């Protein structure tokens, strides 16, 4: 390749914590910056471009205007990567979809002024629900080492793969005691690994912020729930936090 | 000033967290419109947490902001603990203070060095500086890494802390980790002094602009307030308790912004590092105070651009306090301390000083500990009206500099506030017609 690949970063509704993980790569990001030509990255760079080899999208789609913008970016990008759970599944932003209708959501936050046109919103969507996504990097926030690995693979033309085994595997590797034994309901048996079981390793339940594995072992989950006297509904509520569709 | 009509449209002011627009219309030399707009997609967190268990609320509201996720976590935990009458242990409090200093250091270094310094050197980003100022860039990445690793060590993760829970930390750092962290913090004091020297060499490029306003911050008799405190401003004599925060913030909705605005005794107020400094500078450490003096930060100071200098002062303070807190923690046994938590009906507010200013969360719970009402008041929102009024004073003063310089100063003003707009509800479009 003669010219460096042109990459761009865009954000929609999100906390921008995932692009912060890229800044947090510190010295590695200096190395990565030498391999690519960062043509747009509003948060750190003044500048704009017309075409991109890779467009990285953070955040979820929450209003009509977002749809037009993401479609325009898609039309100018050879490859589009959704990074972070907001972009992948809608993330926490999907919690508002639990409400019966969006007027109620708007009223709850903006009171009587809820109908002002600029406060418009619709049920949250992941990027893949609006345009074709070439690769998803899940997590809330993303695991920055995984981001670095995926970008390197994309740059050398390989198809990156995500771990397709549950967080329990990572957790065993960390030699943690099972949280169910401490009366903590944990989504580890269903959730996609790749985070190093960071939450259980810190004594906190996995909330499946990276979504589930492709074919979650529901029977095993049911067995665990029965053994520890929990109900499926309790797990459903927990899965709801990061916009994971309950498959239990 | 030229009497011509010139139309300028610059899209997307950059190097700020979130989306905002500046619109200025000057026709025949007459100012017709100056408006700061916030079109960020609203996210409705206050509706998102309704119906959730108290133990999940901070996990969700932490996601209001990636840069100040730690501060959001603490404002949230404090509000929940206030609602349910939960008293945390001294060690839990000290760990929270330490983690909050880590976030302040991380955010201030990122903002001053990556986002503001390019303005002072008149380049478009930090990237060209890798070539021209490599030593400085490496010094900055070293400090930024240290701040992040502090957050990792104490919170379990750099962003969206895992261990900070209602009434407790779910895991304690070990002695060795704390000793290692302390040694690096002690060594970083010299790096910060070097950084302050670099900032001093650029400080001449900070615009001369003054506008006195009301400065709102937390204040605490024992120390320069970050974690604990009551509300204070330069316009009131008596502090106002956090429980009465609504009396102070007075949020209102405007047509040009999806973020709510606020005001108290004047038409607008300012929150953030400069507001904290103006209210509490007597409680700085000798070293952090001397850095302020070296960088020309008068007490008090009414130049909003000097907010960035106050951030440098607070970075030094954060490191010194972190060392003190680690010493305190190391003097005792590091064991898990869990406050008894019994879900009950109630309402409570919590506040902390986050990098961009005072942050309030308030929740109401039912007797099962389910959230029935939430309110989050975000510091960036509180500043929007002050930014607007600064612009209204700055434009007539600086329009003689010409359109390019005027636009540069307006963008720089917004960046000085370190706005974190995705918090409040992203792109800064500037369009102005002259």
Report the pLDDT value the prediction gives residue B13, as an integer from 0 to 100: 54
To the nearest whole Å, the CA of B216 is away from the closest chain A CA by: 24
B297 has a pLDDT exceeding 50: yes
Q: Give the helix/strand (H/E) hosting B110.
A: none
Report the pLDDT value the prediction gives residue B3, as an integer from 0 to 100: 54
Report the pLDDT value the prediction gives residue B11, as an integer from 0 to 100: 47
A20–B422 CB contact, under 8 Å: no
B300: its two tokens = 């008090």
Q: Give the helix/strand (H/E) hosting B431.
A: strand B428-433
Q: Name which residue leads in pLDDT, A245 or A177.
A: A177
Tokens 């037009």 belong to: A68
Strands A52-58 and A6-11: parallel
B321 has a pLDDT exceeding 60: yes
Structure confidence at residue B15 as a pLDDT band (50, 70, 90): low
Q: Name which residue leads in pLDDT, B9 or A119.
A: A119
A23–B110 CB contact, under 8 Å: yes
To the nearest whole Å, the CA of B327 is away from the closest chain A CA by: 23
What residue in B sits closest to A116 (Cα-Cα)? B255
Contacts of B126 in chain A (CB under 8 A): 44
What is the pTM assigned to this prediction?
Answer: 0.93
Residue range B190-232, pLDDT digits in tens? 999 999 999 999 988 999 999 999 999 999 999 999 999 999 9
- Least Cα distance to B108 among B148, B75, B135 occurs for B148
Stretch A197-210: mean pLDDT: 97
To the nearest whole Å, the CA of A38 is away from the closest chain B CA by: 10
To the nearest whole Å, the CA of B60 is away from the closest chain A CA by: 7
Contacts of B282 (CB under 8 A, 6+ apart): none
Contacts of B171 in chain A (CB under 8 A): 202-203
Contacts of B130 in chain A (CB under 8 A): 30, 33
Rounded distance between C-alpha atoms, residue B264 and residue B385, angstroms: 11
| Torsion angle of the four alpha carbons B33, B34, B38, B39, in this order, in degrees rounded to the nearest 10 | 30
Residue range A56-87, pLDDT digits in tens? 999 999 999 899 999 999 999 999 999 999 99
Q: For helices B286-294 and B307-330, give the axis angle rounded to 10 degrees.
A: 160
Residue range B281-293, pLDDT digits in tens? 999 999 999 999 9
Interface predicted TM-score (ipTM):
0.93
Q: What is the DSSP string of B123-180?
A: -SBSHHHHHHSHHHHHHHHHHHHHHHHHHHHHHSSSSS-SSEETTEESSPPPHHHHHH
A216 has a pLDDT exceeding 50: yes
Rounded distance between C-alpha atoms, residue B24 and residue B370, angstroms: 46
B94 has a pLDDT exceeding 60: yes
Report the pLDDT value the prediction gives residue A116, as an integer from 0 to 100: 78
B252 pairs with which residues across the strands? B261
Structure confidence at residue A143 as a pLDDT band (50, 70, 90): very high
- Which candidate from A30, A45, A203 shows the least CB-CB separation from B124? A45
Stretch A29-41: mean pLDDT: 83
Q: Is-contact B392 B35, C-beta < 8 A?
A: no
Residue range A144-163, pLDDT digits in tens? 999 999 999 999 999 999 99
- Which candidate from B47, B67, B127 shows the least CB-CB separation from A20? B67
Report the pLDDT value the prediction gives residue B430, as an integer from 0 to 100: 39
The 10 Å CB-count burial string (b at 16+, else e) for A65-99 is ebbeebeebbeebeebbbbbbbbbbbbbbbbbbeb
Residue range B374-427, pLDDT digits in tens? 999 989 889 989 999 999 999 999 988 888 889 889 989 998 998 765 444 323
Q: What is the rounded average pLDDT for all residues in chain A?
A: 91
Stretch B267-272: mean pLDDT: 96
Residue range B328-343, pLDDT digits in tens? 999 988 888 999 999 9
Beta carbons within 10 angstroms of residue B130's beta carbon: 16
A121–B124 CB contact, under 8 Å: no
Residue range B105-155, pLDDT digits in tens? 999 998 888 878 888 887 777 777 777 888 888 889 899 999 999 999 999
Q: Is-contact B224 B287, C-beta < 8 A?
A: no
The 10 Å CB-count burial string (b at 16+, else e) for B401-428 is eebeebbbbbbbbbbbbbbbbbbbbbbb
- Least Cα distance to A36 among A71, A79, A6 occurs for A6
Report the pLDDT value the prediction gives residue A141, as an integer from 0 to 100: 97
CA atoms within 13 A on the CB side of B415: 31
Helices (H), A76-143: 85-89, 102-110
Contacts of B52 in chain A (CB under 8 A): 95
Cite the residue boundaries of each domain of chain A with CATH code 3.40.50.700.
Answer: 6-155
Report the pLDDT value the prediction gives residue B424, as an integer from 0 to 100: 43
Q: Which residue in B47, B60, B148, B335 has the most chain A C-beta atoms within 10 A of its own C-beta, making it the best mutation to test that interface?
A: B47
Contacts of B199 (CB under 8 A, 6+ apart): B112, B117, B295, B309, B312
B141–A96 CB contact, under 8 Å: no
Alpha carbon B307 to chain centroid distance? 11
Q: Is-contact B276 B219, C-beta < 8 A?
A: no
Report the pLDDT value the prediction gives residue B426, as an integer from 0 to 100: 27
Q: Name which residue leads in pLDDT, B1 or A198.
A: A198
To the nearest whole Å, the CA of A78 is away from the closest chain B CA by: 23
Contacts of A16 in chain B (CB under 8 A): 17-18, 65-67, 422, 426
Tokens 């329990």 belong to: A168
Report the pLDDT value the prediction gives residue B422, as an integer from 0 to 100: 46
Rounded distance between C-alpha atoms, residue B295 and residue A75, angstroms: 49
- Which candidate from A17, A46, A98 shows the least CB-CB separation from B69? A17
Contacts of A27 in chain B (CB under 8 A): 138, 141, 145
Stretch A234-243: mean pLDDT: 87
Q: Give the helix/strand (H/E) hosting B58.
A: helix B54-61
To the nearest whole Å, the CA of A161 is away from the closest chain B CA by: 24
Report the pLDDT value the prediction gives residue B124, as an integer from 0 to 100: 73
- Which candidate from A17, A42, A98 shows the least CB-CB separation from B66? A17
Rounded distance between C-alpha atoms, residue B153 and residue B141, angstroms: 18
Q: Is-contact A204 B165, C-beta < 8 A?
A: yes
Beta carbons within 10 angstroms of residue B9's beta carbon: 10
Q: Name which residue leads in pLDDT, B14 or B434.
A: B14
Report the pLDDT value the prediction gives residue B48, as an integer from 0 to 100: 94
B234 has a pLDDT exceeding 70: yes
Residue range B31-89, pLDDT digits in tens? 888 888 876 677 889 999 999 999 999 999 999 999 899 999 999 999 999 999 999 99
Stretch A24-29: mean pLDDT: 80
So what's the architecture of A6-155 in CATH? 3-Layer(aba) Sandwich (3.40)
Min mean pLDDT across A82-86, A210-214, B261-265, B316-320 is at B261-265
Rounded distance between C-alpha atoms, residue B283 and residue A71, angstroms: 53
Mapped onto helix, strand or coil, the DSSP state of residue B190 is helix
Contacts of B18 in chain A (CB under 8 A): 16
B172 has a pLDDT exceeding 60: yes
Stretch B155-173: mean pLDDT: 97
């Amino acid at each position: 390749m003669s010219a460096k690949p042109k990459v761009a970063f865009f954000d929609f509704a999100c906390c921008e914590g995932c692009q912060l993980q890229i800044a947090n790569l510190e010295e590695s990001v200096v190395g990565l910056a030498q391999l690519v030509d960062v043509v747009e990255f509003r948060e750190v760079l003044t500048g704009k471009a017309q075409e991109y080899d890779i467009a990285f999208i953070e955040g979820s789609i929450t209003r009509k205007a977002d749809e037009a913008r993401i479609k325009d970016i898609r039309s100018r990008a050879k490859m589009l990567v959704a990074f972070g759970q907001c972009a992948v599944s809608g993330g926490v932003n999907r919690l508002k979809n639990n409400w019966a209708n969006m007027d109620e959501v708007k009223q709850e936050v903006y009171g009587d002024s809820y109908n002002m046109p600029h406060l418009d919103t619709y049920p949250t969507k992941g990027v893949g629900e609006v345009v074709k996504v070439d690769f998803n990097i899940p997590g809330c926030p993303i695991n920055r080492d995984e981001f670095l690995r995926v970008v390197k693979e994309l740059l050398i033309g390989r198809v990156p793969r995500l771990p397709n085994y549950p967080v329990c595997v990572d957790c065993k590797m960390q030699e943690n005691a099972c949280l169910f034994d401490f009366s903590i309901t944990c989504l580890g048996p269903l959730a996609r690994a790749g985070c190093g079981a960071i939450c259980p390793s810190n004594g906190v339940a996995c909330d499946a912020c990276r979504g589930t594995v492709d074919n979650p072992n529901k029977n095993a989950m049911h067995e665990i729930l029965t053994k520890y006297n929990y109900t499926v509904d309790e797990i459903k509520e927990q899965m709801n936090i990061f916009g994971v569709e309950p498959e239990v | 000033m030229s009497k011509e009509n010139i139309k300028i449209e610059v899209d997307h002011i950059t190097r700020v967290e979130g989306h905002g627009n500046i619109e200025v219309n000057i026709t025949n030399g007459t100012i017709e419109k100056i408006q700061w707009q916030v079109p960020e997609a609203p996210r409705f967190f206050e509706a998102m947490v309704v119906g959730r268990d108290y133990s999940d609320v901070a996990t969700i509201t932490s996601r209001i902001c990636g840069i100040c996720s730690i501060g959001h976590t603490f404002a949230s935990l404090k509000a929940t603990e206030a609602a349910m009458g939960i008293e945390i242990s001294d060690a839990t409090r000290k760990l929270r203070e330490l983690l909050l200093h880590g976030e302040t250091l991380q955010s201030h270094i990122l903002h001053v060095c990556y986002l503001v310094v390019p303005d002072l050197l008149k380049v478009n980003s930090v990237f060209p500086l890798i070539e021209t100022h490599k030593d400085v860039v490496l010094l900055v990445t070293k400090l930024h890494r240290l701040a992040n690793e502090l957050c990792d060590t104490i919170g379990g993760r750099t962003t969206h802390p895992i261990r900070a829970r209602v009434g407790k930390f779910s895991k304690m750092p070990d002695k060795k980790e704390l000793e290692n962290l302390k040694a690096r913090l002690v060594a970083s004091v010299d790096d910060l002094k070097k950084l302050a020297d670099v900032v001093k060499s650029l400080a001449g490029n900070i615009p001369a602009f003054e506008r006195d306003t009301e400065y709102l911050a937390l204040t605490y008799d024992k120390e320069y307030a970050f974690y604990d405190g009551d509300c204070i401003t330069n316009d009131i004599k008596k502090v106002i308790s956090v429980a009465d925060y609504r009396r102070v913030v007075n949020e209102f909705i405007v047509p040009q912004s999806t973020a709510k605005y606020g005001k108290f005794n004047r038409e607008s107020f300012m929150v953030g590092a400069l507001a904290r400094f103006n209210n509490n500078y007597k409680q700085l450490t000798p070293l952090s105070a001397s850095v302020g003096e070296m960088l020309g930060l008068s007490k008090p100071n009414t130049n909003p651009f000097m907010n960035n200098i106050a951030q440098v002062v607070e970075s030094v303070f954060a490191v010194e306090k972190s060392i003190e807190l680690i010493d305190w923690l190391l003097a005792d046994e590091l064991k898990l301390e869990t406050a008894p938590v019994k879900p009950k009906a109630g309402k409570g507010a919590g506040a902390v000083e986050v990098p961009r200013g005072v942050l309030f969360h308030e929740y109401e719970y039912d007797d099962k500990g389910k959230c029935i009402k939430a309110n989050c008041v975000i510091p960036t929102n509180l500043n929007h009206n002050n930014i607007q009024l600064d612009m209204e004073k700055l434009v007539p003063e600086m329009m003689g500099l010409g359109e390019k310089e005027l636009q540069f100063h307006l963008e720089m003003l917004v960046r000085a506030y370190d706005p974190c707009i995705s918090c409040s509800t992203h792109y800064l479009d500037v369009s102005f017609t002259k």
